[in-house]
């Protein structure tokens, strides 16, 4: 694919002042065009590999549901993985991205690559020391840590399950270390606007987990073994090591510049550390939110937390592909525009990103809510995952789904604040959001029947309010937009989404009854459910696109115009 074949990102046109519609000179036009092509290509590459990685994650969950079901040991593995192994890694990533990456770019552009790679070496020493201390503590104090974090979990009260959880925690410590160390080459490659290799490494991590888990399940721990869940922990370790090793060749031409030195002697690392306190404080509360989900979920019943995780995974899968890719790609450009105080571009890009995410994810939200049970049944309803487990996971999915549109912009809008060198505002709002989430979960589980719906709705409510507040507080820091024009656009999109929801809600029962009597010769019930989902999805999507076209939603008409132009040029 050549650069000329890559479409530039769509921007809303009805709020742009005519004076801003054309750059002041041809150099500015070329810069905007080049930035558009780079962001689009980067987002496409990352989205492709993230989609593959999410698919691999689905396969992992399907394999686990088949072999392990929603048992206490499965909940123990997922609790340790989400809260400690993967949870700690994501918090370290969220700490380094807004502190290390901008400083590396600034020093590289000002003082050259040798100085920048001194930062990489010193920062790596700092990260390695932190990982060594945390890893040793997890191995030595595995038992008291589990008892402290999950004192009321059903699986903790069973001696056999508790001992198995201790072994799994110790097995996954190397995975936590490998994942965290892989952040240094990943962020460095992103600083050079090289996104393909880190995205591919993430796919290798997900796929490596599956291959290693299945291999260990048959070669080391048999599926009938009471502690066969150890195979899943082994898969996490191998997958995380692949994530690190795959990225190292991407920096081979600069590795000779790498020098490991004490971090306290490097001024840039001290600057990084000075920026970390608000981020770390926010991440602490974010970790508490994840932890309390596991705590309250394990309190409900033996397999409730497993069903909660599987329901959330159906929202995360589509919601963390395009949005995550956009947040990665747009960050370097936002940083450049913030340095130039180009509030016009910051404002236009913010509106364009928001409209694109709403246009894509609002109809997906409706589909997930209307077809929650068939979706869960298709993906997880087999093996030891019972019909009751399907109902519980479907309830979680139904309550998580409304958060999708807000989650799709959460990661990106934080980058606007980071680019403006403001880490306190998003951190403080995130802390309030996490506290609200924990409070809603506690009240729901303790006083309102103890359903997984309370925990899922806690995320939906808290994240929605967080994103709304961040948008409000961003006003005045970027170019103000034409609120009337954006309000008209929002009303049109709301009409298209609402009419689609009514149509899908009305059609789904009839299609369900129609396919209920069909018995496919191959695939059986799975093929029937998949056909039902495709049919309902096709009806809803056709109407959504048609409604957007008829009422004048610009995104649909702009895409149609570009397609016509491409076809015309190809025909010519």
Which pLDDT score is estimated for 38?
62
Residue 191 lies in a domain: yes
Residue 231 lies in a domain: yes
Give kind and range of the element (H or E) at residue 362: helix 343-370
Residue 259 lies in a domain: yes
Return the top range by mean pLDDT from 22-26, 214-218, 325-329, 565-569: 214-218
Nearest to 398 by CA among 375, 418, 380, 419: 375
Residue 516 lies in a domain: no
CA-to-CA separations, 512 to 111, 185, 220, in angstroms, rounded: 65, 49, 43
> Given a cut of 60, is residue 138 above it in pLDDT?
yes
**Burial status of residue 22 (CB atoms within 10 A of its CB: 0-12, 13-18, 19 or more):** exposed
Residue 142 lies in a domain: yes
Which pLDDT score is estimated for 446?
83
Nearest to 180 by CA among 135, 226, 230: 135
> Given a cut of 60, is residue 451 above it in pLDDT?
yes
> Given a cut of 50, is residue 127 above it in pLDDT?
yes
Q: What is the residue whose two structure tokens read 């997906």? A: 364
> Given a cut of 80, is residue 364 above it in pLDDT?
yes
Q: How many CA atoms lie less than 13 Å away from 257 in the CB half-sphere?
A: 14
**pLDDT > 90 in the chain, percent:** 18
Residue 391 lies in a domain: no
Lowest mean pLDDT: which of 30-39, 182-191, 225-234, 517-526?
30-39
Q: Which domain holds residue 248?
A: 71-279+297-302
Nearest to 227 by CA among 178, 296, 155: 155
* Range 474-488 average pLDDT: 78
Q: What's the total number of domains in the chain? A: 1
Select the more confidently predicted residue: 326 or 124. 124
Which pLDDT score is estimated for 561?
67
Q: What is the pLDDT of residues 202-212, one digit of tens each?
A: 888 988 888 88
Which pLDDT score is estimated for 92?
85
Q: How many CB atoms are located within 10 Å of the residue 558 CB?
A: 15
Return the top range by mean pLDDT from 144-153, 333-342, 411-420, 474-483: 144-153
Which pLDDT score is estimated for 110?
79
Confidence of residue 9 (pLDDT cuts 50, 70, 90): very low
Residue 152 lies in a domain: yes
Q: Is 423 helix (H, G, I), strand (E, B) or coil?
A: coil
* CA dihedral for 373, 374, 376, 381, sign (positive or negative): positive
Q: Are 185 and 248 in contact (CB under 8 A)?
A: yes
Residue 536 lies in a domain: no
């Amino acid at each position: 694919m050549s650069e000329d074949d890559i479409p530039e990102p769509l921007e809303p046109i009805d709020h742009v002042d005519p004076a801003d519609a054309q750059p002041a000179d041809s150099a500015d036009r070329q810069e905007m065009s080049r930035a558009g092509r780079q962001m689009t290509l980067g987002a496409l590459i990352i989205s492709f590999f993230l989609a593959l990685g999410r698919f691999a994650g689905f396969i992992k969950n399907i394999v686990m549901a088949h072999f392990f079901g929603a048992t206490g040991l499965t909940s123990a593995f997922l609790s340790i993985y989400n809260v400690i192994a993967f949870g700690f890694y994501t918090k370290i990533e969220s700490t380094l991205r807004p502190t290390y990456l901008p400083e590396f770019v600034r020093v590289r552009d000002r003082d050259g690559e040798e100085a920048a790679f001194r930062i990489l070496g010193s920062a790596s020493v700092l990260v390695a020391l932190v990982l060594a201390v945390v890893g040793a503590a997890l191995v030595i104090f595995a038992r008291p840590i589990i008892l402290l974090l999950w004192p009321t979990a059903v699986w903790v009260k069973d001696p056999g399950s508790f001992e198995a959880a201790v072994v799994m925690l110790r097995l996954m410590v190397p995975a936590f270390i490998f994942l965290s160390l892989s952040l240094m080459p990943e962020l460095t490659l992103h600083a050079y606007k090289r996104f393909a290799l880190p995205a591919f490494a993430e796919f290798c991590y997900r796929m490596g987990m599956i291959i290693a888990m299945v291999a260990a399940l048959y070669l080391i721990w048999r599926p009938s073994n009471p502690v066969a869940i150890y195979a899943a922990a082994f898969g996490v370790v191998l997958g995380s090591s692949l994530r690190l090793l795959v990225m190292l060749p991407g920096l081979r031409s600069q590795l000779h510049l790498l020098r490991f030195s004490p971090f306290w002697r490097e001024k840039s690392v001290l600057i990084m550390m000075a920026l970390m306190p608000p981020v770390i404080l926010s991440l602490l509360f974010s970790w508490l939110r994840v932890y309390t989900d596991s705590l309250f979920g394990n309190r409900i019943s033996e397999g409730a937390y497993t069903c909660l995780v599987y329901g959330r995974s159906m929202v995360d899968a589509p919601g963390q592909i395009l949005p995550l890719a956009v947040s990665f790609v747009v960050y370097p450009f936002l940083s450049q525009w913030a340095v130039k105080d180009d509030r016009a571009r910051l404002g236009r890009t913010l509106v364009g990103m928001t409209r694109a995410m709403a246009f894509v994810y609002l109809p997906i939200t409706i589909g997930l809510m209307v077809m929650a049970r068939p979706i869960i049944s298709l993906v997880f309803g087999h093996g030891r995952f019972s019909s009751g487990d399907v109902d519980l996971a479907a309830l979680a999915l139904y309550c998580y789904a409304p958060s999708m549109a807000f989650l799709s912009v959460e990661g990106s809008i934080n980058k606007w604040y980071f680019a403006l060198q403001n880490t306190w505002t998003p951190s403080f709002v995130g802390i309030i959001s996490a506290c609200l989430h924990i409070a809603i979960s506690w009240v729901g589980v303790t006083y309102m029947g103890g359903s997984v719906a309370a925990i899922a709705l806690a995320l939906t409510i808290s994240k929605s309010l967080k994103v709304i507040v961040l948008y409000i507080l961003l006003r005045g820091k970027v170019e103000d937009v034409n609120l009337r024009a954006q309000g008209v656009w929002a009303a049109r999109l709301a009409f298209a989404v609402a009419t689609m929801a009514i149509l899908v809600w009305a059609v789904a029962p009839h299609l369900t009854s129609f396919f209920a009597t069909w018995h496919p010769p191959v695939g059986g019930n799975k093929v029937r459910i998949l056909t039902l989902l495709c049919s309902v999805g096709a009806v809803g999507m056709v109407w959504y696109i048609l409604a957007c076209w008829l009422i004048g939603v610009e995104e649909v008409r702009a895409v149609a115009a570009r397609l016509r132009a491409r076809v015309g040029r190809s025909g010519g």
